[in-house]
Structures are given as structure tokens and as C-alpha cells.
Structure 1
Amino acid sequence: MMNEKRKILVLQFIFLTAHLFLIFTMLSPYIGIAIHFNSNEEVVVTNVYDNDGWARYTNLSPGDVILEVDDKEISSIKNYKYNNCFVHGSSIKIKRNNEMKYIQAPTNSLKDTFQEIIIPSIFSLTVFVLTLFIYQQNSKVAFYLIGFLLSVSLSFFASTESGRGDIVSNILICVFFPLGSLFLTLFIHRLLLEKGIIKNKWLTFFKINSVICLFVIFLKLATLLQSNLLDVISTGLMLSYFCLNICFSIMLLLYFYVATKGSHHEVFFKWLILIHVCAFIPFIFLHAVPFIFNLPYLQDDVAAFTLFIIPIGYSYIVLTNRLIDINFILKQIPYYTFLTFIPTLVLTILVISDRFYTENGVVYFIILFLAILIINIVTLFLKEKLDFQLKDSFLYKQSYLSKNLNEFSQKLPSVMKENDLENLLLNQITEILDPQILLLIRLNKETLEFQSIDYKSNSQSMLTDFIKKKLKNTTTDTLIGNPNYLGIELYQTDSYVTYLWVSQKRNNTTFNMHEKMWLINIVKYVRLVHENLNIVQNIIKSIEKRDTTNHQSSNTLSRFLLQLGEQERIRLASDLHDSALQDQTIWYQKLDKVIQNSSSTLQEEELATLNKIKNGLLDVIKQLRETCSELRPNFMLNTDFTASLEEFCKKKQMKVSYNLKYEFHNFSDYSNNYNLTISIYRVLQELLNNAEKHAKASVVSVEMWEENDYIFLDYKDNGVGMNNSIEKYSEHHIGLIGIKERIHILNGDIEFISEVNKGLQILITIPR
């Protein structure tokens, strides 16, 4: 481990030493002229560059003879020149037409020199400070990353002087320019290795890559002093090696980004890809590739300006605890580009147009201000309109969250307990936000004590004073949030308040605006369902406490309970039909097929046993169908009311031991009044079931008819009967109490006429 730190210290020492030397060199202003030695060994100006140096700001011209540079004799100019092209100095003495003249570097040129030092120095200083933080990690990943950052920084700093022919700058470029690309490949490989994404060390590949890097460096150094074709070839080879390593690194990141898509590594890979693409692609395609193929290209110091993205990007990754959700940003850009394209175009035309220009600055300012204000108002108005129509098509994340919210709302009706509601919510948050920490926090209203439940590990979690303070100061509709956490009040009961605390997403990204809105909306759904659950629980408690034999419940409560029971019957009938009944039918068919195919090979006893099992399955199927029919009498929806009741009595007669006499006169059409028909059906069903279980009757008669605005139902049996006083209080007559509840809901009347051992007669009157 110490070896890595020593290597980093060596790199940092070289980095600082080289920068001090370069800064000292750059403090001497660059003249920006081309020179040659004439036959008299005089230094003659052959060209004054129009894009670099301070000579372009003076009257220096080709043909002038340079006698002194910074008050030094011409004999010492060889200390400044390289390839007979470039020299440094802040003043020169020239001979023009046998006249001696002094030319001093103008003030604006000194300002250019200062800027040439400041901008690269800011870059290098940022990189060096960043390496101090990375240095603490003490690993190979840290060493390779620091090597890459320092190499890029040194190459960028030396690029200006290298282009001017400074020998030290050229040596630094020759060494650290290809070395930086090698460090990048080593860094990315080692990073993938430590994260467990790859298993192999790729030793052979990196040995070959290192050998190629050394070959490129030595070849370029060997040809550094030669202004010939070999120098051009070695420069092209160095650029090619650099480009191939950079492209390989980016492709490697792209490959593993796709391979790990959906994991918590996704956003980290996307950030690395974005940093390297934005930093290197302009340099590769605007300088390196055109240079290699002998096409017009940008100067290296200009094309390399995008390298500023590297220290900025890596500083953000290293220093921040949470990464901005790059997916959210990248998906927002096309949409907002679409929205702002036309306004930007109009503003541009407005600013450059002569039509609105006036020499009166105040009037021109007012015109532009009003025009821009109107354009912004129209743009914002159109944005509100387009958000409803186009935003989901542009922003997949928002569309996905909206779809998820809709799916969540469809699951809520099946929730019947508070624990189920909380688990559903926490599962949904885990799926969408994937947090490292997910807490349900309860505040006891009496003791003001907090209790937290860590959902991710199902263990008690210690609450910090910071979280407690934040929760105590929150209100029902307030979302506590910053890039690192979200908190919100979930709901309240009489004894406690429940809060939700979400912290530290596993992919280390911040919570974006759409995720916050999604959380607020899903909590609103949960609050509504929790309130309904509380209402149901309170109703159940009130039912459990009341005296069912003496206390007549309200119509609203009774109707709610009976409708709830009816819905549960329908659900149970559907479950039985779709699962148990279908499975039994399939097994019956398979067994029947086995018996048919194997009847000739089976013994008689085995065949008889299988047939017995088959018949038993058939009986079970019939019983399930009858049960489903009783739970959900669909036949009542397909025929008229009278025919439905007659069909029910026919089927009932086949099951009971008593003689059932029934007569139903023609009724009006009640197909649109399901509550009435199902209530009468359930009353009749309960009467006949009660006769079978308790009455011990041999004859049961049922008659039903309409008269005026009422429906009349008369029931009579010759069973054991009962005492009228007992009927009102005994818990053994719960079925009859249920009948009374249904008739009461329909605003009807019911009368019991009975004596012990003299049968039972029930007279029911229901308004239509």
C-alpha cells in the first residue's frame, strides 16, 4: 500500500516541478515571429504571426534584423530559439534600413500572457487539489486516477509552449500525453475490478499496451529535434495511440453500462461516460483525427480546452456524497430544447435585426425588454399547454412514474389492514427509489417518544436528533427534502403519528423533482386508504360492542355491512370458479383420459377405484358449481325475477327432505334494482335453509305476489315452531335476525307467527 503512495508522491513532485518551470518560461512574453539566419549570420524576421504573440500588435515586419532580445546580444538568441522559428522576450532591438529601433511588448500582449498562465493554472490547481483528496484512498485505483489527472493537466499546461517550440514543453507532451491515456485505461479497468463487475486482470493486454506506450514515447523523443517526415509520422502515431486508448476506455464504459443497466452502478457509469466523451471527443475529432489524415485542424491548445470538464467532473464525483440524477437531466434536455428553440430563434433575430435598432439606448432597451417579456410570457403559457400533451412522450421517467402510480392505486382496494398498506407502500418505494435506508417512524402522542423501524433490515434503527427535529417541525402536507433524504408525515391515529423517512439512494443520485412529486402523490393515496381503513375498523368495533339482539342498527350501517358481505361473496365465488373449480375440472378430464387409455391394461379393481375417484371429483365439481351459484346467483341477471325464483326453488327441492310448495305470481321488471332482487333472494334462501336445519318440517310453503305498491312474501312450515318471546332475544336465531336486518334495510315489515310444536309463519311486506 505504501508503494502506491510513494508513486503518487513522485507524480505530484514531477507535476509541481514541471509547472514551476513552465510558469517561469511563460512569464517571458512570446514574440510570435518566424526567423532565419542570413548569409551574414544575422537573425532576420521572415513572418509575423497574426494569431499568437505580441509582435502582431507592433510595426515589426518581415525583413527586420534582430540585434538584441531583452537587452541580450544576438549571440545568445540560440538560447531562445528552436527550429529557427520562435523566440521569447518582452523587448527587441532591430535594424531596419540601417536604422536602430527598440520595440517593446505592448500592454495588451502582457495581458494575453497573463491569461495564458492563469487559465491553465486554474486547471492544474483544481487537478492538484483533487489529487490530495484521492490520495487518501491509498489504492491502485487512486494511483491510476491521479496519474491520469496529472498527465492530462501537465499536457494541457504545456500545450501552448509546446506549440511555440519550447523544448521542455515538447518533452513533457511526448511523455505525459500518451502516458495519460494509458493511465485512463488502467484506472477504468481497476475500478471495474474493485467493484466486482469484472473478474480478470487482463495482464497480457496491459503489458502490450504499456510496451506500445513506451515505444511511442521513445520514438517521439528521438525525433523531437528533427524537422522532417519521421517527426510528423511519430506525432501522428502518438495521436493515434492516444485516440485509441481514449476510445477503448469509453467503449469499455459503454459496454459495462449496458451490461449493468438497471443496477445501482448505472448512474455512476453514465457520469464517467459523459465526462470522458465531452472532454476528449472534441479534441479527437477537431485536432487529432484531422492532423493524422492531413486535414485542417484546430490548434491543440484550443481543441484541448474541453479538458476542463475532467477536473470539474471528477471533483464532483469525488467530493459530493450524492450524484445528480443524470438520467433525469438527459431526458429533460430534448424537451426543454424543443420548448425554447423557437423563442431563442426569435430573440436572436430580434437582437441582430436593424429594424428595431435605434441610437437612443434607452428606447432600444425598452423595445428589447418588452419584446423579451412578451416572448417569455407566451413561452410559459405554451409550456403549460404542451406539458399535458407532450411531456410524457419526451420524459420517460415521468411517464413511468405516472404508470407506477396508477398501478399502485389499483392495488389499494385489496388492502384490508394497516400493516398490508405499509408493506405495499414500502415495497413500492424500494422498487422506484431503491434507497439504502427506509424508515417508518412513529411518534407517541402521549410520551412524545420516537420509535423507528428499519424496513430494509427489519431491525431497530437509532434516530438522530436531526431527524427528530425535522419531523417535529413538519406538517401534514410538507415534504422534508434535500438531495440526500426525503421525509413526510404519513398519517395519524389517536395514539401516534407515523412518518416516512427515505435516505441515501443506492445509486448515490439525488432525488429529482419527478420522484419527489411521485412520493407526495403516493402518500396522498395511502392517507386516503388509511382513513377508510380506520372508518371500517371503527364500524367493526361498534358492531362488536352493540347488543345484536336488542339494538336495531341504522339503515346506513346495515346497508354498508350487507353490501360488503355481498361483495365478499362475489369475490369468493370468482376465486372458487377461477381456481378450485377450474383445477378440479382439468384433473377430472385428465383422469377420464387416463381411464379411457388404460382401461384394457388395468385390473377390474383398479379400474373401479379410478372410476370411483372420477365420480367423486365430478361430485366435488358439481358442489363447487352450486356453491358458486349460491354465492353469486348469476341466473337472476339472465331471466325475469319470477322465473329466477322458481328455478331456485326447483333446485332447492332436490336437496331438502321436506316437501316444498311455492307459488310466485308475475312480477314487474326489477332488472335495474339489483339490491331489491338480491335481498329477496337472500331472504328466501335463508328461510329455506333454516327450515332444513332447524324447523324439522315435512311441508314448507312459500307464496309471493305484488299488490298496489308492495311486495308480499308469506312463508309457512309445519315444524317445531318457537316461542315468539324467544325469537327476539335468543342468539340461536341469528339467521332470522339477519332476515329482519335485510327487510329493515328495504324499509319493509316482518311479522313472526308461531307457537312451540305448531309450526312457523312469517309475513313479509316490502315497498316496491
Structure 2
Amino acid sequence: MISKVKAPLYTLAILLLTVYLALNIYHNRVIGVDLQQGTDGQYSVAKVEKGFWGEGRLQVGDRVVSVNGESPGRSFFVRQYDRIEQADEVSVIRPLPDGGSDAITLSVEKGLPTRELVLHLIIPLGTMLLFVAFSVFVYVRKGQDRAAGYLILFFLSIGLAYFSAFSSTRLDPVGRLVITFTFPIVPLSFLLFLNTYLKQQIQKRLMPDRVVWIGLGLIVVNGAIRLLELSGHLHPRLQSVASLILMLTFVLGIAYIFYKLIEKFIRHRHDHLKSLFKFTLIGHVVGFLPFLLLFGIPSLFGLVVVPADVAAVCLIGLPAVYLYMFTTKRLFDIDFLLSRMLYYTIIAFFPTLLITGLAVLIMNQHNYSWVKWVQMFLVVYLLITIFLFGKEYMDQRLRPKFNKDLYNFQGSLDRFSSRISRVMKRADLERVLEQEVRSILPVQELAFLEVQADQDDAAASAQANSRKDDFAASLALELLASPRRLAVGTAIEVTRGLCVIIGHRRSTYQVLWIGEKYNRTQYNPDELGWLKTLANYSAIVYENLYLIENLIGDLESEIRKQQGTPTWVLRLIFRLSENERRKLASDLHDSALQDQLIWYRKLEAVMLDHDMSADLGRDLAEIREGLLDVIHQIRETCNELRPPLLKEMGITEALRSLFEQAQIRNNYAIDFEEKPLTAELTDEQTLTIFRIVQELLGNAGKHANASRIRIELEQRGDLHLRYTDDGVGLDVEKLNDSYQHMGLSGIKERVRSLAGTITFRSEVGSGLEVMITLPMESANMDIESGMLDDSNLAG
């Protein structure tokens, strides 16, 4: 929007104007004395403003004899504004109580006092230079963007209006002219910026075009009035009206901005644009509301609650917020910030009140100064210690009320830990993790990357599902170039989102890439902590699944070489599968289950130790019951993965316990007929019989819709197991080709792994009969047991 030729000229003009205003402010103190002209043409002091040079030196009623050695009427500022400013010397005649008078000549000291130097020059000049730097930055990044041009105008108009206000206070013509045009441009330039930005990003307009023309018309009117004033053609009594019109223009512009932002927020409060309009609305409340309430609106009625130089300090942060929003196309998580701000504001109120009250009492004592400081230190130290001690209690009781997401994150972790217990493939784990992330975070895109880094030549490559290879490779390079150490749970911001390390093995990193959220807010600390916990859970399962999949791949390769599946391979596969199940059950029991038990005990302790309302008691009781359900689910999962006391109880008692639990969860009855076993079963045979019966009962409940089941177990030389049910039955000829009956196919493989035989008898609608025979002693089993060494595996 701004050409490369004109940009340096604009920058030079702004800097020269800044230098002029700075010199004018530095060389001229604010005198702050209003005059009135009597009928005899002489001037007397009508008002002395507090906080400026005239206070304590001049008094109301003093007759001004000369300003800078000349008649007051010859001074431009006295003649034009009935005010003394930019003077080096003032002579007055002060009437005395006895009827006499006293001639006084006062010299205006050079240089600014500390307060004026900081508030009138250092802060405004630093702010102006900062806004110039912001403008240059935006121009370099997006100079040809129309929205960038309006944003630059917004920055410069705020900076110049803020800076020139202090020159205008000294009645400098240039300063008054600058503030006349820049002050009303502030709301107008912001409206133009936000209107253009919304059209570019979401194809929505903020305001109609006539608003712009009205704003320009008001700027022209204010400019014409100011030019009449500076030329001396405006009556002095109308000058206050001119200032009133200027302030009214600014107030109306800001009020219109608030109106449009509130309107847009209400309209989009239930969609992904809520955060954008809430962000801009809060930004304007923080930036403009103190200035409007403490200075702008009271000045319309002739009141000043807080001086303009103090109230305007809040405006400094507003351009920085929009600079961040425009250049990064992201927003702060305003809901997260507001909840934290409200929470800490409330808990900080009473300690602040106590410290202030005790400080007043201590400072009013008539002791030595060092004694007061020691007392102050001890009191503040004690109160802060007590406050921090009580903060733990307040964090438990109050913080969840201000941050409702804490419950969502805890429930998500409980749900995720329960679901991963049934995961048997990496693809399934990634699907469960994706579903959990999408259920909590409003993300647009999500993908899993496998990043491989070669430490020798620092080369990196990546492969991603559902993403193009070039994008995956660029993400991998950006990730590996990060100065942060790559470890499980680490979350690293990248150009287009966030990368979370969810697994690591040798030089391979499993990475979850999450794109930007729909509302374009940053990921807040609670979300990052939740993602880290998910990553740690996932890393445990990833490691186990990685080992299983690699081993199965090696075994499949060996099987292809031997043109068939030897029984020892099947036994090895089932043995390894059981080992991994036990390991996963142990991990869940030692981590997720123990964590849930700890939180359950803490919750019970809180409910027993503290009085609470009936509603809160019911809510906490409901949470407690939910925790118990999760604990029960994890325990059941661990029991399914690793049958408890199977070896100690024996197969008969273990089956009875299994039947008791199965009949509670399903609508069928089980008749179990067993005869004493004459020989002791091996651990492998015991586990095989248990898993087979477990799978048959699961099939009866999920697919067969059986109401009565009969199971017979006896030993007649070999071990015999007979299963019958009255379910819907199946076509035995299609058993091998049916995905639905993969459990029954697995039973066949288990039986074959122990050199046993199995027979299925069934027809559609007439139930199922399964007869299994397992040899108690097998020469083949003894011979092949020596082949269970890892040296037989391919690779």
C-alpha cells in the first residue's frame, strides 16, 4: 500500500516532527496559569493549575504586569488563550491584606522537573519511537497489504496524539495542530484496519462505508476549527467548545468501536470467531476504558479524575497486542488469561488489604526509621508465608471454579488410559490419541510423523500420514533445528502449529503434529501440560507395540521361508503376546491405577475434613463415584490382560471365577461340569485353556446371543474341553473367511500351537459346539521347546 520510494520520506517526516515536539516539550515547562482581562484592559490571575510551575508562585488575583519583559497583551498565548505559557519571566503586583501591594518578578527555571520529565517526555518519546519501530516492522513484513497500511496509521496516530498532547498543553501551534488531526484518526484508523483485516481473514465486514465518510468529515471540521483558532479568527470563548468537539469526536469513535465489537461478539459467541472478537473487545477495554472513564468523559463535564498524562499510559499496550495478532495471525488464549487474572485478583485482595493496613500502623509509630523497616519486613514476610501456605487450600477449592477445563483434562486422561489398555497396534494407538485430542482441542489439522535423525551428518527425513512428503520433511527439519532437547512430552512450536514428541526409539521420533486451533489462540499452559501427560502415556504403549510389531514382522518373514507356520512359532507368538499383556497390565496398574487411587483418597480426605454445602457435597460425591468407576475399569482391564492367581488357583477355580464375572456382565447362564484332573497341567496349558474359554464366552456375549452355555473339562489320557451354547450359530465352512469370527480363528491357532485338535460343529440358528483335545505329553513339544531361542528369528 505504501510505495518503497515514499516510505523513507514518511519515516523522515515523522522523525523530524518527533524531534521538534521533543525539543518543544524539553525547553518549555508547563506554567499552568489562566488569566482574565478586566474592563480596564489589565490581566489578572484567574486560575492556577495544581502540579505545574505556577502553583505556589502565583496566586489568584495577582495582576500581571509583564510577560518576558513586555505587556501581557503582546504575548501570543495571553492574547489568544488568556493563559501564560512558554514564558521565561513573569512580573506581577500582588495585593496585600493591609491594602498595600507588592511587586514580584519570577523567573521560570529551565529544564523539566522529574515528574514532567518522565511523564511528559521520556515515556511519550519512548512510546512514539516504539510505535515507529512497530510501523517499520509491519511495513517490512507486509508493506503491500492494505490492512498493514491502516495498522501503521493506527500506530502512528496513537503515538503522535499521545506525544503531541504534551506539546499542545504548552499551547505550541504545531502540537495543537498535530493532536487535532491525529486524535480523531485513532478510532477511525482502527476501524479501517479491523474492517480490512476481517474481510481478508473471514470475509466479513465490521462497518458500512458511510462510517468512514462521517469520520473523515469530523476530522475536517476539527481541523478547520483549529486553523481558525491558530489564525486568531476564533473567539477565545469558543476555544473551549473546540476542545470539547475534539474530545467528543474521539469518545464517539471509541464508543462506536465498542458497540461493533460487542455486537460481533454476541453474534459469534457460539462459533470459532468468539475468541477473535472477545480478544479485541478485552484489548480495547484495557487500553481505552481507563482513559475514557478517568479523563475523557469527566473532561466533557469539566472534571478531571486522573490527569491525561497518567490515564493515557494504558494505551501503550494496545498497539503491541494488534502487532502480535496481525504478524503471527494468532491470538492469546483470552479465556485462560481472564480466568487466571480473576482468580489471582480475588486471592490477592485480602493479603494486600492486610499488608497495607499494617504498613499504615507501623509507619505512624514514632520509632527510629530502621526499626520501622525491620517491622515492615517481618510483617510482610510473615503474611506472605501464611498466604502461600493457604494458597494450596485455595487452589483445591477455588481454582477449579474459575478454570472449568481442569475437569475436562482429568476426565480425558482417565478416558485415554482406559482406551489404550485395549490397543494392540500402533495405528490403533494413533487413532485413539487423535480422537482424544480432537475431543478436547478445537484443532483444524492433525497428523502423525515419524522423524528419523542421523546424528553423523545431521540429515533428517520424515514420513507422515495424510500429509504431503515435502510438508513432513519441512516439519522434520524445523523440529530438529530447534534448540530445545527432543524428549518424550516435549512440545515445540513450529511455523504452522505444535509438535509433541510421543515416542522415541534410537534415532526415530514419533511426533504428533497439531495445527492451529479454530479460534487461532495460543496453546495455554494447561493444554501443554495435558498434551505432555498424553505423550508420556503414549510413549509407554508405543515402546511395547514397537517391539511386538517388529518381532511379528521377523516371525512372518521366518514363516514365509519355511512355507508354513510351525507350532513352535505359534507357541512363541502366544507366549510373547502374553508377556506383553502382563507388561502392559503392570504399567497400567503401577501408573494410571495408582494415580487414580491417590486422587480418590485425596478427594475422600477433602470431603471428610471440610464442611461444605449440600450441592457441593453431591457434586463431589458424583466425582468420587466417577473415579471409582474408572478405578474399577482399569482393574478389570488389568485382570483381563493378566488373569490373577491363575497358577495358584488352578484351572478349575480360575474358570469358576471367570464364569462368575461373565454371568454378571452378560445375560447367559453357564453350566460347568469338570472331572478331577489326574495330571498337573503346565503353565502354558493352563493359560491356553483359560484364554480359549475367555474368548468363547466373549463370542457368546457379543455375537452368539446365547442364553445357556455348557462347558465340560476332563482328562482321558489327553485333556478334553467341550463347549456348547444355544446361540445363533454360524456357517462353519465360512469360518476361515469371516472377519467377524477372528476370535474363533485365534482359538484354532492356540490349539494348534500345543499340537492339539479342535472341531467346530454349528449351523445357522442351532448354536455352536466346540471340541478341543490337548495332548498332555508330546515328544514334538519337548523337541521344539529348544527352538524358542531368539537366534531362530529372522534378522
User: What TM bracket, shorter-length normalisation?
Assistant: 0.5 to 0.7
Shift in Å, 1:120: 1.9
For residues 135-154 of structure 1, the aligned pairs below 5 Å read: 135-136=139-140, 137-154=143-160
Distance 2:322 2:484 in 1: 38
Q: What's the counterpart of residue 635 of structure 2?
A: none
Q: Deviations over 1:493-539 (max 9, x none)?
A: 68955344557667654433212210121123223434564687699
Aligned CA distance change for structure 1 residues 563 and 253 (closer, same or farther; 3 Å): farther
Q: What's the counterpart of residue 379 of structure 2?
A: 371
Q: What's the counterpart of residue 683 of structure 1?
A: 722
Shift in Å, 1:36: 4.0
Please, what is the CA RMSD of the aligned residues? Answer: 4.9
Q: 3-state SS of the aligned residue for 2:35?
A: strand
Residues 722 and 772 of structure 2 are in contact (CA less than 8 Å); yes or no, is this contact kept in structure 1?
yes
2:82 to 66, 81, 84: 84
For residues 364-403 of structure 1, the aligned pairs below 5 Å read: 364-403=372-411
Distance 2:690 2:266 in 1: 53
1:103 to 90, 102, 106: 106
Greater shift in the superposed pair: 167-176 or 355-364: 355-364
Q: What's the counterpart of residue 339 of structure 2?
A: 331
Aligned CA distance change for structure 1 residues 205 and 364 (closer, same or farther; 3 Å): closer
Q: What's the counterpart of residue 186 of structure 1?
A: 192
Q: Deviations over 1:629-686 (max 9, x none)?
A: 0xxx5x46xxxxxxxx5xx9xxxxxxxxxxxxxxx9xxxxxxxxx9xxxxx9962439
Matched, 1:350 2:358: yes
2:313 to 286, 305, 311: 305
Q: Deviations over 1:40-65 (max 9, x none)?
A: 655x4414624143122436664243
1:453 to 463, 466, 478: 463
Residues 33 and 85 of structure 1 are in contact (CA less than 8 Å); yes or no, is this contact kept in structure 2?
yes
Aligned CA distance change for structure 1 residues 197 and 5 (closer, same or farther; 3 Å): farther
Residues 362 and 375 of structure 2 are in contact (CA less than 8 Å); yes or no, is this contact kept in structure 1?
no
Q: 3-state SS of the aligned residue for 1:353?
A: helix
Q: What's the counterpart of residue 541 of structure 2?
A: 529
Residues 439 and 454 of structure 1 are in contact (CA less than 8 Å); yes or no, is this contact kept in structure 2?
yes
Distance 1:77 1:59 in 2: 18
Look up the equivalent residue of 2:22 and give its one-letter code. I
Matched, 1:441 2:444: no
Matched, 1:63 2:73: no
Q: Deviations over 1:276-335 (max 9, x none)?
A: 221212222333333445666555444433222333434444566865433321121122
Shift in Å, 1:373: 3.0
Q: 3-state SS of the aligned residue for 1:359?
A: coil
Shift in Å, 1:101: 4.6
Distance 1:414 1:365 in 2: 64
Aligned CA distance change for structure 1 residues 493 and 285 (closer, same or farther; 3 Å): closer
Aligned CA distance change for structure 1 residues 103 and 337 (closer, same or farther; 3 Å): same
Distance 1:138 1:467 in 2: 31
Residues 418 and 533 of structure 1 are in contact (CA less than 8 Å); yes or no, is this contact kept in structure 2?
yes
Greater shift in the superposed pair: 516-525 or 153-162: 153-162
Higher radius of gyration, 1 or 2: 1
Distance 2:112 2:454 in 1: 74
Q: What's the counterpart of residue 131 of structure 1?
A: 135
Residues 65 and 71 of structure 2 are in contact (CA less than 8 Å); yes or no, is this contact kept in structure 1?
no
2:473 to 462, 480, 486: 462
Q: Deviations over 1:534-593 (max 9, x none)?
A: 6876998989654499999885555555555555555555554xxxxxxxxxxxxxxxxx
Shift in Å, 1:356: 9.3
Shift in Å, 1:164: 5.2
Q: What's the counterpart of residue 518 of structure 1?
A: 530
| TM-score in terms of structure 2 length | 0.64
Residues 322 and 483 of structure 1 are in contact (CA less than 8 Å); yes or no, is this contact kept in structure 2?
no
Q: 3-state SS of the aligned residue for 1:58?
A: coil
Shift in Å, 1:395: 0.7
Distance 1:548 1:162 in 2: 92
Aligned CA distance change for structure 1 residues 410 and 189 (closer, same or farther; 3 Å): same
Q: What's the counterpart of residue 157 of structure 1?
A: 163
Distance 1:547 1:417 in 2: 23
Gaps of 5+ in 1: 577-626, 637-644, 649-663, 665-673, 675-679, 687-691, 695-725, 751-768
Q: Deviations over 1:393-435 (max 9, x none)?
A: 2112333323333333343344331112123324544562737
Shift in Å, 1:79: 5.6
Q: Deviations over 1:138-174 (max 9, x none)?
A: 2321222222232232222232343454444433333
Matched, 1:628 2:705: yes
Distance 1:397 1:188 in 2: 31
Q: What's the counterpart of residue 479 of structure 1?
A: 490
Distance 1:315 1:539 in 2: 54
Aligned CA distance change for structure 1 residues 62 and 22 (closer, same or farther; 3 Å): farther
Residues 90 and 105 of structure 2 are in contact (CA less than 8 Å); yes or no, is this contact kept in structure 1?
yes
Q: 3-state SS of the aligned residue for 1:351?
A: helix
Look up the equivalent residue of 1:46 and give its one-letter code. V
Look up the equivalent residue of 1:190 and give its one-letter code. T
Aligned CA distance change for structure 1 residues 405 and 66 (closer, same or farther; 3 Å): farther
Q: Deviations over 1:161-213 (max 9, x none)?
A: 43454444433333332233222222211111111331698334433443454
Residues 220 and 238 of structure 1 are in contact (CA less than 8 Å); yes or no, is this contact kept in structure 2?
no
Look up the equivalent residue of 1:84 and give its one-letter code. D
2:117 to 114, 119, 122: 114
Distance 1:444 1:145 in 2: 42
Gaps of 5+ in 2: 95-99, 557-564, 576-680, 714-718, 726-730, 734-751, 762-768, 779-795
Distance 1:304 1:436 in 2: 42
Distance 2:127 2:732 in 1: 94
| TM-score in terms of structure 1 length | 0.66
Distance 2:275 2:500 in 1: 26
Greater shift in the superposed pair: 244-253 or 219-228: 219-228
Aligned CA distance change for structure 1 residues 530 and 63 (closer, same or farther; 3 Å): closer
Distance 2:413 2:307 in 1: 53
**Percent sequence identity over aligned pairs:** 20
Look up the equivalent residue of 2:108 and give its one-letter code. A
Aligned CA distance change for structure 1 residues 252 and 88 (closer, same or farther; 3 Å): same
Look up the equivalent residue of 1:441 and give its one-letter code. E
Q: What's the counterpart of residue 590 of structure 2?
A: none
Residues 4 and 143 of structure 1 are in contact (CA less than 8 Å); yes or no, is this contact kept in structure 2?
no
Shift in Å, 1:17: 5.2
Shift in Å, 1:357: 5.0
